Amino acid sequence: MRLTVIYENHAGFKKGLLGGKPIKALIGGFHLRGTGKEVLDDVVERIDAERLYAGHCTGLDPYAYLKWRLGDRLEALHVGKTIEL
């Protein structure tokens, strides 16, 4: 398994970043604390990854909303978590 790590401090990831290759997972804090529903809906529409693992700096309310919209595609990231890709 080849893992490509992309660092950004905001959401808005597309396949184009990897030359059309599918993104298996986005892993990290998405810094969405304090954002409104419109921004979160845009994130849902724009993210083109199979799985998302969100750290604490995503924010509790944004995480809950994204979890409602993305379901099993989104998981909380925590110390000691093992991710199988």
pLDDT in tens, 47-75: 878 899 998 888 999 999 999 999 999 99
Q: Is residue 10 part of a domain?
A: no
* Res 12: pLDDT: 47
Q: Is residue 4 part of a domain?
A: no
Q: How many domains, the chain?
A: 1
Q: Is residue 2 part of a domain?
A: no
User: Has residue 33 got a pLDDT over 70?
Assistant: yes
- On whether the pTM is more than 0.85, the answer is no
Burial class (CB in 10 A: 0-12, 13-18, 19+), 71: exposed
The mean pLDDT value for 15-28 works out to 70
- Can you give the residue range of the structural domain that contains 29? 15-76
Q: Is residue 85 part of a domain?
A: no
Q: Is residue 29 part of a domain?
A: yes
Q: Is residue 57 part of a domain?
A: yes
Q: Is residue 69 part of a domain?
A: yes
